[in-house]
Amino acid sequence: MYILGISAFYHDSAACLIKDGVIVAAAQEERFSRVKHDSAFPAAAIMYCLKAAGIESPQIAHVVFYEKPFLKFERLLETYLAFAPKGFQSFLKAMPTWLKHKLFQKSQLVKALTEIFGTSVDWSDRLLFSEHHLSHAASAFYPSPFDDAVVLTLDGVGEWTTTSIAVGEGASLEVIKEIHFPHSLGLLYSAFTYYTGFKVNSGEYKVMGLAPYGKPIYRDLIKKHLIKIAADGSFQLNMEFFNFATGLTMTNKKFHALFGGPPRSPESDITQKDMDLAASVQHVTEEVVMLLAKHAAEVTGKTNLCLAGGVALNCVANGKLHHSGVFKHIWVQPAAGDSGGALGAALAAWHLHFKRDRMSTDAPDHMQGGYLGPSFTDEQAAAALTAEGAVFLQLQSSEVLDRVVDALVNHKAVGWMQGRMEFGPRALGARSILADPRSATMQRQLNLKIKYRESFRPFAPAVLREKVSDWFDFDSDSPYMLMVADVSKHQRLPILNAATESLGLDNLNTQRSTIPAVTHVDYSARIQTVTPATQGRFHDLIARFYDRTGCPILVNTSFNIRGEPIVCSPSDALRCFMGTELDLLVIGNLLLYKSDQPSHLLTQYRSEYQLD
């Protein structure tokens, strides 16, 4: 039985296709539309999923949407009534959209499916709806390697739920506790994302990356005025300080007065205050996550934990939870945000609606390494590159690896596109930019000249699994780059002016370890462990770099620039390669050196990126 899962109409729309409970394909719509965090109906992602399975639309037994629109509308109405007369302008703005589109999403979904598939199937008979946090929980538990686990989901808000604890045993999954809107850890974090001048639903990563530059001096202020935290991790927000329930912004004047002024203007200079605010909300988030996890362990007796929801992408909190030992094993859904809801909706239908058992696997989990997107043969890539007028070499696999290592050891930045595209927000060695972690200048170079983003953003190390404990205070699996750990002390370098070292972005200039390009200012690193079974060619490349240098690590960051989705196709990769200061592009066994490319291509793509 084929089941298609869909998430759409908020942010990060996606589609996932499963066959008899096995994941066949999954992808975000943004990768095809090239619109970052695209919320539109995922027509292109759906068509890709069917193409990957080699099926036609009548073979889809059911389509499952990841949440229930009527419950969401109920929450919207009750919230406006509860806060009336506040939020009247927001109410007037929201109602026409809901009444025209969102309230009747079943008919909208049927119409959209009919538009892409035709009228041969009555999709209203095949359409099912999951609940938002159940979709998150299903996406976390069913693909995990555990037969039984407690499942913790945390995000902004679904229909009503913002936080849930569920118990998974075999094919069963039951939610046992919930926290409801407007009390939301995700929205608290997003409020600080907004206040520090970043974009909600995408800038939360930046707040997490900024936090180590500051001190949590506002932590007590947050806990005194904004959030009341109980011993079991349950919490309540003081809505006097927030505007998200009924307004058009996240925070209000009372919030601004509490922290001494209005929100930072986007793109303006980042101050020490912004860094301290980031550190403070990060500390509060970690405290709540830790308390919730401890309570979940106590009330369920489970030793395995699964995580999903947008807050589960906070890899700093995940790393501290792992290090605490509250649970013996932790597994985080790599597409933990709303895109993963498509996967969870399909799996919830298979296991809970149709009551089908889970299948065993010899793999580390059921996610296939997260490599669930499109792939391209060398012939397809060559045709696309030739059509653009690009110059490339086609080599044997071993020579490709040698040439890439040559470039890396000479501190060149490499665009690396191999196999199936990753599902979720992280590049895991299929659509990656790679570099030498030993370079003291690489972190700044990648941020400013290739990614075109803020200089403070850290980069992740992709490390051979068998060598991870030699370089980091970590000896476990982290295949999806969702755990943070410290660089080992014997890899750290002495800081001569440690006693007088300043806070803030000046810390970027201090070399802290033998792998400075992936060492954050607090000595932490967001680790991806790489194994030959799941990430064969990527493992081979890192192993060859290790043989040459004695360092089993590469810088791994997503193959895109700021404001754009990760590349999907060879044409996307070429555009990013030519529009940035990447030195080498590798697509399968095809190599493109920047110096070999026609000048008109460089002019064309740099003009598109407005870099001239």
For the stretch 362-376, pLDDT in tens is 899 999 999 999 999
Question: Is residue 190 included in any domain, yes or no?
Answer: yes
What is the per-residue pLDDT for 78? 63
Q: 74 and 203, same structural domain? A: no
Question: Is residue 401 included in any domain, yes or no?
Answer: yes
pTM: 0.93
Which is more confidently placed, 557 or 508? 557
Confidence of residue 245 (pLDDT cuts 50, 70, 90): confident
Question: Is residue 167 included in any domain, yes or no?
Answer: no
Q: 530 and 390, same structural domain? A: yes
Return the closest-CA partner of residue 459 out of 316, 594, 557, 369: 557
Confidence of residue 500 (pLDDT cuts 50, 70, 90): very low
pLDDT of residue 94 exceeding 70, the answer is: no
Question: Is residue 150 included in any domain, yes or no?
Answer: no
Tally of domains within the chain: 3
Q: 360 and 273, same structural domain? A: no
The conformation of residue 480, written as its DSSP 8-state character, comes to T
Phi, psi (5° rounding) for residue 432?
A: -125, 155
Q: 357 and 233, same structural domain? A: no
What is the per-residue pLDDT for 543? 98
What is the per-residue pLDDT for 454? 79
Q: 419 and 312, same structural domain? A: no
Q: 280 and 185, same structural domain? A: yes
For the stretch 199-221, pLDDT in tens is 998 899 999 999 999 999 999 99
For the stretch 143-186, pLDDT in tens is 999 999 999 999 998 888 999 999 999 999 999 999 999 999 99
Q: 518 and 404, same structural domain? A: yes
Q: What angle do CA 356, 359, 360 make, to 5 degrees?
A: 155
Contact 437, 515 (CB under 8 A): yes
Q: 407 and 485, same structural domain? A: yes
Contact 16, 346 (CB under 8 A): yes
Domain of 451, CATH number, reads 3.90.870.20
Q: 299 and 416, same structural domain? A: no
Question: Is residue 156 included in any domain, yes or no?
Answer: no
Q: 580 and 467, same structural domain? A: yes
Distance CA 542, CA 186 (A): 36
Q: How far is CA 105 from CA 12, 13, 135, 524, in A?
A: 17, 15, 17, 44
Which residue segment(s) compose the domain that 290 sits in?
179-331
**Six token digits for residue 55:** 């099926």
Question: Is residue 168 included in any domain, yes or no?
Answer: no
Domain of 324, CATH number, reads 3.30.420.40
Distance CA 213, CA 38 (A): 31
